A and B are shown apart, each in its own frame.
Chain A
Amino acid sequence: MRCGDFRQTYAADMAIFETSFARRLLLLFFAVLLVVPAFASSFWLDVLNRILIAVVAATGLNILTGFTGQISLGNAAFLAVGAYTTAVLAGRLGLPFPVVIPVAGVVTALVGMVFGVPSLRLKGLYLAVATLAAHFVIEFTITHWESMTGGVNGISVPAAQLGPLVLEGDRRLYYLALPLTAGLLLFAKNLFRTKVGKAFVAIRDQDISAEVMGVHVFRYKLLSFGVSSFYVGVAGALLGYQARIISPENFPITLAIDYLGMIIIGGMGSILGSIFGAVFITLLPELLRLAVGPLSSSFPQLTTLFASLKMGVFGLAIVLFLVFEPDGMAARWHTIKNYWKLYPFSY
């Protein structure tokens, strides 16, 4: 166990892992995650993959909203851009996934930056509203560009492949999604130790002071839109590979709200928070289903009520977190950790 720490160098202060013990613990956790598929049923594999996708997307959104302070309601549409790019590149052109996934990310980043341009003039509420409009415009485009997207009928996505290697099914896809997610998380964590990341945070805290300090606000805002959308695009690519068929219904406006809910519940401006939030929001309906499932044979009306129950619990979770723990699960996690750090001598 570790207890109170004492840092002597700036490097130590900046380190991602405060102690080597923490690093080892994380590696152990990663190793556990690697062997989980051996024990998980196909349903839980599906859930695991969906969690990983949500983690990537929520991290992307957190970079934009939590770290740079730009509210976006357009992330479901950006996710769609990534997924449809994947469908077209992999389905029509038969490209392998090491090409498809980065390209999907870059395309989404470009689209995200286009819709980020209003942030030049707008902030706060108005930006939220502009990205909301972006959502509907992108959705309309996808629905009506039938020759490219298949319209409302959807478009099928082949399994991720690289030469003879075909990642068919959730189990194999997991081994692509897990390292990818881990890498992206590490990158995000590092990003905020660099000049770029610090500029993002400066813009969030006070845009005028940031400008005074020499941060080119507009450029960094756009960059934030770009980085964030890249993450969301990669998540979209994974979603395409996982769902195997995508249609505009995969990307409703409520999904954008779900992602915002993830970072609110997890903790804004915290990478760990994105993970917590994504896990929580993705597991919530599944756990509810588990809880309700055995009951529904004796109370058949529960099947009908389930959809509203899911919605209600989701809304309630957001409201309760905002009122009682506005900094999210990540903050609560730190509180708990700090309590045990000095246990039983905490003050």
Chain B
Amino acid sequence: MTAMRNLLLALAALGLSSARAEAQEIKVGGLFDLTGITSDVGKPYAQGAQDAVAWVNEHGGVNGKKIKLIAVDYGYKIPEAVSAYKRMVGDEKVIMINGWGTGDTLALKEFVNKDQIPYFSASFAGDLTDPSKTPYNFFCAPSYSDELRAWLSWVKEDWKGKGNAKVAFFYGDNPYGKAPMEAGRRFAKENGIDVVDEEIVPGNFQDATSQLLNMKQKGAEYAYINVTTTGVSLILKGAKALGLTTKFGSNPYGFSEQLPLVAKEAAEGVTGVVPHVPWGENVPGMKAMMDFHKAHHPNDTHDAMYVRGWTYVMVWSEALRRADKAGNLTGPGVKAAAETLRDFDTGGLTSHLTYTPTDHRPTTKTKVYMVKGGKLVFVKEYEMPRRADWLGL
């Protein structure tokens, strides 16, 4: 039996060569999409996060301790995410996780609650903001719901015609696509905007012609697209081919420097919400990124998704630092430390972030940008009130 045991131990050790970690290492799980349907934005995000971890480790780490990011590609599949989560928490003993999509984050919310693993998701779903339901879920941006509210506010200001502005929603047939829609419907109703049409596109769609024709039929003047960049570009190109004059807006995962590159002239005049600044923006926090970029991969091009991944690490590494200082480098310790962040400044990479034990809405400020001449140009920042009935919506 000892032979059996040794064999199994050897196998386990082989699989988890990282398990032989030194004491001075903090293990963090990284759940990324590098090959799935959101890999167009998932890859730059993952690179940003990994580079930021390297940068933090180069610059003193977490009070001298190094962060070890255990990165897994889960292909935007919930079952893969659950399996990777079990591996990270059960075997690797990570103390927190940097996650990705809405579907998998919602699927894992009961697990992270039970295992007490702080979970920073790249999904900004409003459902994750109420600590009485999801105490271990965090994100570092205005919620999808607040972003949609901000965009609708822009529509209201932009609309010069008679009567109410007519808006359509385009979204993917997945939890990410559907996340802010209820909030959007209610906000539109309260603010005299008519949601005339909702079009659902499948996860891996190739052609949105019938949806666009439907939208045209309903007479929408504005449309908010809630899919990733590739999908946004397909819809914009389809609209151009049909000669539509609808003004399109995009969610933060469909709108970056990549959009004008892929959609070309069809992207002109499109608005989008930008919670994390575009690459190269003139803010103090960009300097570290630029230095790292010059030192390690000067020829790569980066975008707002890369900045987002980087920003996330800046936020949670600060939480780790505070937890470590408090001598409580555990899941609950990191959660408590994150909830001490008040108006935390990432050097302008995103708005100031605040987490409290009763409210995980880090910020309610959203910047709206527009594509002009192939560049992203800042239009206006909108701040939503912290209404109690919007918590968790």
Q: Is the C-beta of A156 less than 8 angstroms from some C-beta in chain B?
A: yes
Determine how close the nearest CB of chain A comes to the CB of B142; give it in whole angstroms: 22
CB-defined interface of A279-309 with B at 8 Å, one 1/0 digit per residue?
0000000000110011000001001101110
**Contact flag A303-B73 (CB < 8 Å), given A42-B86, A152-B175, A152-B178:** yes
- B156-209 residues at the A interface, CB under 8 angstroms: 173-175, 178
What CA separation (Å) do A32 and B4 show in the bound complex?
A: 10
CB-defined interface of A239-270 with B at 8 Å, one 1/0 digit per residue?
00001110101100000000000000000000
Q: Which residue of B35, B43, B78 is within 8 Å of A307 (Cβ)?
A: B35
Which of chain A's residues have a CB closer than 8 A to the CB of B328?
none
Which of the 9-residue segments B6-14, B211-219, B310-318, B377-385 touches chain A?
B6-14
Which of chain B's residues have a CB closer than 8 A to the CB of A44?
8, 11-12
Identity of the chain B residue whose Cβ is nearest the Cβ of A50 in the assembled complex: B83
Which of chain A's residues have a CB closer than 8 A to the CB of B4?
32, 39
**Contact flag A289-B73 (CB < 8 Å), given A39-B8, A41-B90, A304-B34:** no
Which of chain B's residues have a CB closer than 8 A to the CB of A41?
12, 16, 90-91
Q: Is the C-beta of B325 less than 8 angstroms from some C-beta in chain A?
A: no
What CA separation (Å) do A143 and B5 show in the bound complex?
A: 44
Identity of the chain B residue whose Cβ is nearest the Cβ of A308 in the assembled complex: B35
Residue from A43, A44, A293, A304 whose CB has the most chain B CB atoms within 10 Å:
A43
Q: Which residue of A245, A300, A307 is within 8 Å of B107 (Cβ)?
A: A245
Check if B90 sits within 8 Å of A304, measured CB to CB. no
What CA separation (Å) do A270 and B382 show in the bound complex?
A: 66
Check if B173 sits within 8 Å of A152, measured CB to CB. yes
**Contact flag A250-B78 (CB < 8 Å), given A46-B83, A46-B86, A304-B34:** yes
Q: Which residue of B50, B78, B110 is within 8 Å of A249 (Cβ)?
A: B78
Q: Which residue of B34, B107, B178 is within 8 Å of A247 (Cβ)?
A: B107
The bracket for how many chain A residues form the interface is 20 to 34
CB-defined interface of B10-43 with A at 8 Å, one 1/0 digit per residue?
0110111100000000000000001100000001
Q: Is the C-beta of A154 less than 8 angstroms from some C-beta in chain B?
A: yes
Determine how close the nearest CB of chain B comes to the CB of A273; give it in whole angstroms: 25
Q: Is the C-beta of A338 less than 8 angstroms from some C-beta in chain B?
A: no
Determine how close the nearest CB of chain A comes to the CB of B77; give it in whole angstroms: 5
Check if B87 sits within 8 Å of A43, measured CB to CB. yes
CB-defined interface of A117-144 with B at 8 Å, one 1/0 digit per residue?
0000000000000000000000000010
Number of A-B residue pairs having CB atoms within 8 Å of each other in the complex: 86
**Contact flag A249-B77 (CB < 8 Å), given A46-B87, A152-B173, A154-B107:** yes
Check if A245 sits within 8 Å of B8, measured CB to CB. no
**Contact flag A247-B78 (CB < 8 Å), given A42-B90, A153-B103:** yes
Which of chain B's residues have a CB closer than 8 A to the CB of A42?
86, 90-91
Determine how close the nearest CB of chain A comes to the CB of B218; give it in whole angstroms: 21
What CA separation (Å) do A318 and B180 show in the bound complex?
A: 43
Determine how close the nearest CB of chain B comes to the CB of A286; give it in whole angstroms: 8
Q: Is the C-beta of B285 less than 8 angstroms from some C-beta in chain A?
A: no
Q: Which residue of B16, B50, B90, B103 is within 8 Å of A154 (Cβ)?
A: B103
**Contact flag A152-B103 (CB < 8 Å), given A293-B15, A303-B34:** yes
**Contact flag A243-B75 (CB < 8 Å), given A39-B5, A46-B87, A304-B34:** no
Q: Is the C-beta of B71 less than 8 angstroms from some C-beta in chain A?
A: yes
Check if B106 sits within 8 Å of A153, measured CB to CB. yes
Check if A250 sits within 8 Å of B175, measured CB to CB. no
Q: Is the C-beta of B82 less than 8 angstroms from some C-beta in chain A?
A: yes
Which of chain A's residues have a CB closer than 8 A to the CB of B175?
152-153
Q: Is the C-beta of B373 less than 8 angstroms from some C-beta in chain A?
A: no
Which of chain A's residues have a CB closer than 8 A to the CB of B284?
none
Which of chain A's residues have a CB closer than 8 A to the CB of B357?
none
Identity of the chain B residue whose Cβ is nearest the Cβ of A290 in the assembled complex: B15
Which of chain B's residues have a CB closer than 8 A to the CB of A35?
1
What CA separation (Å) do A341 and B192 show in the bound complex?
A: 84
Q: Is the C-beta of A40 less than 8 angstroms from some C-beta in chain B?
A: yes
Identity of the chain A residue whose Cβ is nearest the Cβ of B202 in the assembled complex: A143
What CA separation (Å) do A46 and B110 show in the bound complex?
A: 18
Which of chain B's residues have a CB closer than 8 A to the CB of A245?
78, 82, 107, 110
Which of chain A's residues have a CB closer than 8 A to the CB of B83?
46
What CA separation (Å) do A39 and B107 show in the bound complex?
A: 29
CB-defined interface of A25-58 with B at 8 Å, one 1/0 digit per residue?
0000000100110011111101000000000000
CB-defined interface of A153-169 with B at 8 Å, one 1/0 digit per residue?
11010000000000000
Q: Is the C-beta of B79 less than 8 angstroms from some C-beta in chain A?
A: yes
Which of chain A's residues have a CB closer than 8 A to the CB of B78?
154, 245, 247, 249-250
Determine how close the nearest CB of chain A comes to the CB of B195; give it in whole angstroms: 20
Which of chain B's residues have a CB closer than 8 A to the CB of A307?
34-35, 73, 75
Check if B35 sits within 8 Å of A43, measured CB to CB. no
Identity of the chain A residue whose Cβ is nearest the Cβ of B17 in the assembled complex: A294
Which of chain A's residues have a CB closer than 8 A to the CB of B9?
39
- B87-108 residues at the A interface, CB under 8 angstroms: 87, 90-91, 103, 106-107
What CA separation (Å) do A300 and B11 show in the bound complex?
A: 22
Determine how close the nearest CB of chain A comes to the CB of B248; give it in whole angstroms: 24
Determine how close the nearest CB of chain A comes to the CB of B33; give it in whole angstroms: 10
Which of chain A's residues have a CB closer than 8 A to the CB of B107?
154, 245, 247
Known: A46-B83, A46-B87, A307-B75. 16 other contacts (CB 8 A): A40-B8, A42-B90, A44-B8, A46-B86, A143-B173, A152-B174, A154-B78, A154-B107, A247-B78, A247-B103, A289-B15, A290-B11, A293-B15, A294-B14, A304-B34, A307-B35
Those 5 A-B pairs whose CB atoms lie nearest each other, nearest first: A42-B90, A307-B35, A43-B91, A245-B107, A39-B8
Provide 18 A-B residue pairs closer than 8 Å at the C-beta atoms, listed in order of the A residue: A32-B4, A39-B5, A42-B90, A143-B173, A152-B103, A152-B175, A243-B79, A243-B82, A249-B79, A250-B78, A250-B79, A290-B11, A293-B15, A294-B14, A303-B71, A304-B34, A304-B43, A307-B35
